[in-house]
Structure 1
């Protein structure tokens, strides 16, 4: 090989970015903690409300309030991140989630449903921030590697997310020793986890990924005219923000609705809190553990194909959940694992589609607005789930959600057709 050829070969190999590696390490550490905070309340939120209110019809209200609080926080975190950077926005969001956890504990001690609902709204800030952190992983990532950067942040949530539900019973025992109702015990864990995540980000997320990416973009020479190419070499088409948002919205609505009522379904069939925690742990593991593979698939094959896979996986989950007997923990765990996998495919593909198409000047703000739609969809699913189960039963809810996920396929097919048409017109 000649000297010139060797030089060109070396130049073609991407140079690792030390700042990006450091940022990913810090984000991974914060997500390990926040994952426990995110998952701890999922297992017992509906049961706590059911215990206080004495009715199943409103058991979906905690999830709805949590996701409504997530929607509000997504806007705030997005705007703060846009103006002051990811570090400030994410740390403030996690700290707010910790305050909400303290409020839930206080409401449980006082037996106040009103305070519980207010606290759950505030607690939703942690959920919004947990999702917003994935965008920070992609700010400095090279094109063609953004989905993998997003997936690295998401998979870090797995350890805490799986541990959190399985600690529901031990934290319940600890809560009783402290004079707190056992069902509120997991919020002891979530408060500590969110507080520590906020501390890690406030102290260690330097340089700020979004501010650094913006500064680099301003210093770089202007790009060549024309639409940019994605990881597969295809031209990026405008309008991807709407499709990416739709993918995440439907995935979130379906996931929250079914997940919220599964512990109630198991409780009504005589299963213990520990059994519910194990099923939710399987679900949350499937939500985050496949992320590295999903990120690679999105970077390799494009977001549209993986988004289509999300819809079909969610349909399979709904069919299995509807068919599973109420006394079968194994089949419910498998259905919830498919539910988590379908959500993961939708979230990673939708996030990559949006990140590739939004300029740095408005990226954090746009991402915050999109996540509002995602959170509102989750709130809708959480609120409607209790009503549907009370009226028609859990199998009807699972089937309806699976069918709803199929709505992704026509939108994806239409977008793919438009992209092929644009490509043909340019050639």
Structure 2
């Protein structure tokens, strides 16, 4: 049975630390399960929509709808967390994502691709849930551990992201065995992972870390505390504005350059194997060193690590501009791109968490996730036309504008990195 409000208010540091560590372990486990789903389904979504529709030009719509779904669900899940805690919010998100898989498999049976797009939109809830998980890891963190706690949950995504794409063949064997349409077995595995995630969050997040934090701060999630919405917080809190802008532009930068890399390498004669290795190295850069960037954020402050992240993003563009025809240089650029994304997003998310008190964090965090996902959509949609107009090297140079904006915005700040404990 969960602790009462009075008991929570009187919790000592040792008990808070125990709950924090347990919550991070549960969140990491859920993140691995979520990573299995996203890693297996994004590629399969493109293949399935082409198989159903017969139109190659629709291939990118699967990922776009998934990202839009994540953007649309970021704020509703944040409101759920604010009112009822992380346990309800995350388990509900996993359940909705699983229902998206049901829609997708139904679309394959019906051979109706608009239904598939709806399913990918609903499945995007899983991505929104995964993004919220990294913030949930900081609910009971102190200034000294906030970056590390967040980054551990981000790092756990690596496991699912690496294993997920390798479930394609086992998924197809499973689909054939139970007479499912082609390209749906991986989705079935993803649905099972999400359903397991429902129970992991529901049973594991007891007591709920956000509710414990709210009670420790004598905060009640009533209508009074919900009066300042995410957009209002951004309007009135400069540090929150800078942090959200940094996370969004960093994501736009990464998505734009990464999404065009396979096309560029293919035009340069690279094999599919080499393209796959390059993207795998990029993904490793995004997640594998996140605990290091989290530790550095706690030690040096978020703003310092944001600058380091921008330096890595600029390095990626310079490498592409200097010798983008070289497969080796392109791979090094994608590694630098992944590392820069990791540094800037871990530090930016840490700054977001510290920008306001516990009563307003879920709203601000949800708004940040909304902006981040929408920026990814914009980056993915704009990168293609820019590539066609000025080439891959030109795209890399154009993206330097984003880095310059982030550097200037954060240089103008003369306030502390974190304003709330």
Q: Aligning the two structures, in what range does the TM-score lie when normalised by the shorter sequence? A: 0.7 to 0.9
Equivalent runs, 1:22-101 vs 2, <5 Å: 22-49=22-49, 52=53, 54-56=55-57, 59-101=59-101
- Counterpart of 1:367? 365
- The alpha carbon displacement at 1:124 in A equals 1.0
Normalization by structure 1: what TM-score?
A: 0.80
Asked if structure 2 preserves the Cα contact closer than 8 Å seen for 1:165 and 1:280, the reply is: no
Which of residues 401, 411, 419 in structure 1 aligns to 2:415? 419
Number of residues paired by the alignment? 384
- Counterpart of 2:257? 258
Query: What RMSD in Å do the two structures reach over aligned CA positions?
Result: 2.9
Equivalent runs, 1:136-151 vs 2, <5 Å: 136-151=136-151
- The alpha carbon displacement at 1:151 in A equals 0.8
Equivalent runs, 1:264-279 vs 2, <5 Å: 264-265=263-264, 271-272=271-272, 277-279=276-278
Partners of 1:214 and 1:409 in 2: CA distance: 34
Equivalent runs, 1:356-395 vs 2, <5 Å: 356-389=354-387, 393-395=391-393
Partners of 1:33 and 1:105 in 2: CA distance: 20
- Counterpart of 1:345? 343
- The alpha carbon displacement at 1:336 in A equals 2.9
Partners of 2:313 and 2:303 in 1: CA distance: 16
Partners of 1:337 and 1:184 in 2: CA distance: 31
- Counterpart of 1:153? 153
- Counterpart of 2:9? none
- Counterpart of 2:404? 406
- The alpha carbon displacement at 1:207 in A equals 0.8
The one-character-per-residue Cα deviations of 1:220-257 (angstroms, maximum 9, x if unpaired) are xxxxxxxxxxxxxxxxx952100110111011112223
* Mean Cα deviation higher: 188-197 or 369-378: 188-197
Unmatched 5+ stretches in structure 1: 1-13, 220-236, 421-427
Unmatched 5+ stretches in structure 2: 1-12, 220-235, 417-421
Partners of 2:131 and 2:241 in 1: CA distance: 18
- Counterpart of 1:288? 287
Question: Aligned pair in 2 of structure 1 residues 110, 93: CA closer, same or farther (>3 Å)?
Answer: same
* Mean Cα deviation higher: 392-401 or 15-24: 392-401
Partners of 1:400 and 1:180 in 2: CA distance: 45
SS at match of 2:137: helix
Partners of 1:207 and 1:109 in 2: CA distance: 42
Partners of 2:314 and 2:54 in 1: CA distance: 32
Partners of 1:103 and 1:43 in 2: CA distance: 17
SS at match of 1:406: helix
Asked if structure 2 preserves the Cα contact closer than 8 Å seen for 1:310 and 1:345, the reply is: yes
Asked if structure 2 preserves the Cα contact closer than 8 Å seen for 1:244 and 1:351, the reply is: yes
Asked if structure 2 preserves the Cα contact closer than 8 Å seen for 1:173 and 1:182, the reply is: no
Question: Aligned pair in 2 of structure 1 residues 48, 265: CA closer, same or farther (>3 Å)?
Answer: farther
Asked if structure 1 preserves the Cα contact closer than 8 Å seen for 2:73 and 2:125, the reply is: yes
Question: Aligned pair in 2 of structure 1 residues 173, 255: CA closer, same or farther (>3 Å)?
Answer: farther
The one-character-per-residue Cα deviations of 1:301-332 (angstroms, maximum 9, x if unpaired) are 11111111222212222344564448x3x555
Partners of 2:386 and 2:107 in 1: CA distance: 27
Normalization by structure 2: what TM-score?
A: 0.82
- The alpha carbon displacement at 1:36 in A equals 1.5
Asked if structure 2 preserves the Cα contact closer than 8 Å seen for 1:43 and 1:280, the reply is: no
Partners of 2:403 and 2:265 in 1: CA distance: 24
